[in-house]
């Protein structure tokens, strides 16, 4: 499976879990909303039933007041209650239309109310209104009143309606309690499901991300180690990756690069060996006739037995040219070997090495070498550092324009390097020649004036750059010369063993 496919799958699973969380929450929310609607319905039904009972009481109160006093003011609450009671029953009928049990109770209440109005209240009211017309009407009213009101006929009808309301309210109160319990349960369950699914999603997402990250990190760590080994010069490395994804392609590319570098390195090693052999043969074949020429010149000088200054000078020039040629050959060989000879690093004092270098160079007593502060102790190839220091000091002595001078050697510490300075009070170097002096076979003076191969500073530059440092000049014509160079604090290490990483 491709890495990007795996990543998308993992993200998809996490998103799916969150979708499940959302769907579960919506489902529970729907149940909660239904429970709330049921509770509100029950509350509305109970409230409207209580309102209808109050209207019934208003009708009864107004009716009784009128019968007792004959004051029509008492009929106002009666007729108002009657009108509103009809509306209240219609509303209760609408509320209970989907609930047959409650609706049946409402229909029975309506019949009770109509029975009370039609068979009890209306006849009494009509008869009471006519009592002032004649004694007969008064007698009829009294007779009707005794037969109905005094016998509790109206009260029985209304009590029966109230009983129906009370039964309905009692039932709805129980339903309300049950629905409140369901509502609380739904709310609790909603929270539990939401929290549970969220925790599961977080846990699943965390585990997926951890496993995915761990796998990718492990594989990249192996590739990083492989690349580091290659960068250190160990090309006998490879990495097995059985996956078939983008990282596998990168792993394959690193393996191909390592193989090609190994092939190139082996070829280069072979070429270097051949070059060393060639250099040895060439130097041997060139030095042999040079030594013969030098010996021949000495023999001629001994056999000639002449005091002619021109002849003696020519023989001297001949031997000097032979010596220069030999020095050139040695210099070329030294230059070619820089960076190709593995020298063991060691810890050494540059202060002591400076002292040893001066003893070997043996400059004229008129020259002073000053060290303002103790030089550091460093780790590296002592022989190479000696070559650098020896060439710089030798040039300072050789190219000084007087027979006496002052050379100052100092150093300062940088984060990753030591910066050394070799400063003299010699004739200086013009700026246009600052880069030229590091070229091979380049000299600032004619070789007949100052005998030099022109290779020394080239060797110095090559050594320093091979170590990862830099060298530069600060100088003006007639103001002395300062050579600066940096040397790493820690030498580069090369791996000595190969490995094969498996995955």
Tell me, yes or no, whether 250 and 274 share the same domain. yes
Residue numbers of the chain with a pLDDT score lower than 50? 441, 444-452, 494-503
Q: How far is CA 46 from CA 102, 176, 272, in A?
A: 11, 10, 106
Residues with Cβ within 8 Å of 486's Cβ and at least 6 positions away in sequence, in order, are 414, 417, 418, 419, 420, 464, 469, 470, 471
Q: Is 330 contained in some domain? A: yes
Q: Which domain holds residue 157?
A: 3-205
Strand partners, 378: 348
State pLDDT tens for residues 313-340. Answer: 777 777 767 665 665 566 556 555 555 5
Cβ count near 400 (within 10 Å): 22
Tell me, yes or no, whether 301 and 369 share the same domain. no
Of 309, 337, 365, which residue sits at a domain end? 337
Of 205, 223, 246, which residue sits at a domain end? 205
DSSP letter at 119 equals: I
Task: Give the span between the Cα atoms of 479 and 470, in whole angstroms.
Answer: 23
Q: Is 220 contained in some domain? A: no
Of 289, 322, 337, which residue sits at a domain end? 337
State pLDDT tens for residues 455-502. Answer: 778 888 888 988 889 999 998 888 889 999 999 987 655 443 333 434
Tell me, yes or no, whether 301 and 366 share the same domain. no
Smallest Cα–Cα separation from 396: which of 464, 473, 342, 330?
473
Alpha carbon 263 to its chain's center: 38
Q: Is 229 contained in some domain? A: no
Tell me, yes or no, whether 348 and 445 share the same domain. yes
Pairing status of strand 377-380 against strand 499-501: unpaired
Q: Is 244 contained in some domain? A: yes
Tell me, yes or no, whether 152 and 282 share the same domain. no
The CATH number that applies at residue 291 is 1.10.287
Smallest Cα–Cα separation from 322: which of 456, 455, 451?
451
The CATH number that applies at residue 412 is 3.30.565.10
Give 286: exposed, middle or buried? Use CB within 10 Å, 0-12, 13-18, 19+.
middle
Tell me, yes or no, whether 117 and 42 share the same domain. yes
Tell me, yes or no, whether 295 and 352 share the same domain. no
Residues with Cβ within 8 Å of 290's Cβ and at least 6 positions away in sequence, in order, are 322, 325, 326, 329
pLDDT score recorded for residue 447: 43
Q: How does DSSP assign 250-276, residue by residue? A: HHHHHHHHHHHHHHHHHHHHHHHHHHH
Tell me, yes or no, whether 333 and 356 share the same domain. no
Task: Give the span between the Cα atoms of 147 and 150, in whole angstroms.
Answer: 6
Q: What are phi and psi of 12, to 5 degrees?
A: -65, -40
Smallest Cα–Cα separation from 233: which of 502, 495, 489?
495
Task: Give the span between the Cα atoms of 425 and 332, in whole angstroms.
Answer: 30
Q: Is 105 contained in some domain? A: yes
pLDDT score recorded for residue 372: 93
| Tokens matching residue 33 | 């909303």
Q: Is 500 contained in some domain? A: no
pLDDT score recorded for residue 420: 95
Tell me, yes or no, whether 67 and 180 share the same domain. yes
Q: SS3 sequence, 136-202?
A: HHHHHHHHHHHHCCCCCHHHHHHHHHHHHHHHHHHHHHHHHHHHHHHHHHHHHHHHHHHHHHHHHHH
Q: Domain count of the chain?
A: 3
Q: Is 115 contained in some domain? A: yes
| CA-only gyration radius of the chain, Å | 58
State pLDDT tens for residues 11-60. Answer: 777 777 778 777 777 777 777 787 787 778 888 888 888 888 898 898 88
Task: Give the span between the Cα atoms of 267 and 263, in whole angstroms.
Answer: 6
DSSP letter at 376 equals: P
Tell me, yes or no, whether 380 and 303 share the same domain. no
Q: SS3 sequence, 45-90?
A: HHHHHHHHHHHHHHHHHHHHHHHHHCCHHHHHHHHHHHHHHHHHHH
Tell me, yes or no, whether 171 and 201 share the same domain. yes
Q: Is 222 contained in some domain? A: no
Pairing status of strand 405-413 against strand 367-370: parallel
Tell me, yes or no, whether 96 and 174 share the same domain. yes
């Amino acid at each position: 499976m491709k890495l990007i496919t795996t990543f998308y799958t993992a993200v998809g699973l996490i998103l799916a879990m969150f979708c499940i969380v959302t769907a579960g929450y919506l489902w529970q929310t729907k149940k909660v909303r239904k429970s709330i609607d049921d509770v509100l319905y029950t509350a509305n039904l109970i409230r409207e039933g209580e309102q209808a009972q109050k209207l019934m009481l208003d009708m009864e109160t107004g009716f009784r007041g009128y019968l007792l006093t004959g004051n029509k003011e008492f009929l106002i609450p009666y007729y108002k209650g009657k009108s509103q009671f009809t509306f209240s029953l219609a509303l209760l009928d609408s509320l209970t239309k989907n609930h047959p049990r409650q609706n049946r109770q409402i229909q029975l209440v309506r019949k009770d109310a109509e029975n009370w109005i039609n068979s009890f209240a209306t006849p009494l009211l009509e008869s009471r209104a006519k009592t002032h017309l004649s004694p007969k009407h008064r007698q009829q009213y009294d007779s009707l009143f005794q037969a109905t009101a005094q016998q509790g006929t109206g009260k029985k009808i209304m009590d029966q309606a109230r009983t129906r309301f009370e039964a309905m309210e009692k039932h709805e109160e129980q339903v309300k309690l049950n629905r409140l319990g369901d509502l609380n349960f739904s709310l609790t369950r909603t929270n539990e499901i939401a929290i549970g699914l969220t925790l599961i999603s977080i846990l699943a997402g965390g585990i997926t991300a951890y496993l995915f990250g761990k796998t990718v990190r492990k594989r990249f760590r192996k590739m990083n180690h492989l690349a580091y080994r290659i960068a250190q010069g160990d090309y006998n490395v490879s990495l097995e990756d059985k996956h078939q994804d983008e990282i596998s392609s990168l792993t394959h590319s690193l393996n191909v690069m390592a193989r090609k570098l190994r092939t190139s390195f082996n070829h280069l090693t072979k070429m270097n060996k051949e070059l060393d052999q060639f250099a040895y043969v060439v130097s041997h074949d060139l030095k042999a006739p040079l030594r013969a020429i030098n010996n021949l010149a000495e023999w001629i000088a001994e056999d000639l037995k002449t005091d002619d200054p021109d002849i003696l000078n020519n023989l001297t020039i001949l031997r000097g040219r032979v010596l220069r040629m030999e020095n050139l050959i040695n210099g070329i060989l030294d230059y070619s070997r820089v960076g190709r000879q593995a020298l063991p690093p060691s810890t050494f004092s540059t202060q002591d090495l400076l002292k040893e270098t001066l003893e070997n160079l043996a400059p004229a007593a008129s020259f002073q070498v000053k060290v303002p502060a103790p030089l550091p102790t460093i780790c590296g190839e002592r022989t190479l550092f000696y070559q650098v220091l020896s060439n710089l000091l030798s040039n300072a002595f050789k190219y000084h324009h007087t027979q006496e001078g002052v050379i100052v050697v100092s150093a300062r510490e940088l984060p990753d390097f030591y910066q050394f300075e070799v400063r003299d009070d010699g004739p200086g170097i013009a700026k246009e020649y600052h880069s030229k002096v590091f070229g091979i076979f380049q000299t600032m003076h004619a070789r007949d004036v100052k005998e030099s191969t022109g290779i020394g500073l080239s060797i110095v530059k090559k050594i320093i750059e091979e170590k990862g440092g830099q060298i530069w000049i600060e100088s003006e014509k007639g103001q002395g010369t300062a050579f600066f160079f940096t040397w790493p604090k820690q030498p580069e290490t090369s791996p000595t063993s190969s490995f094969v990483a498996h995955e």
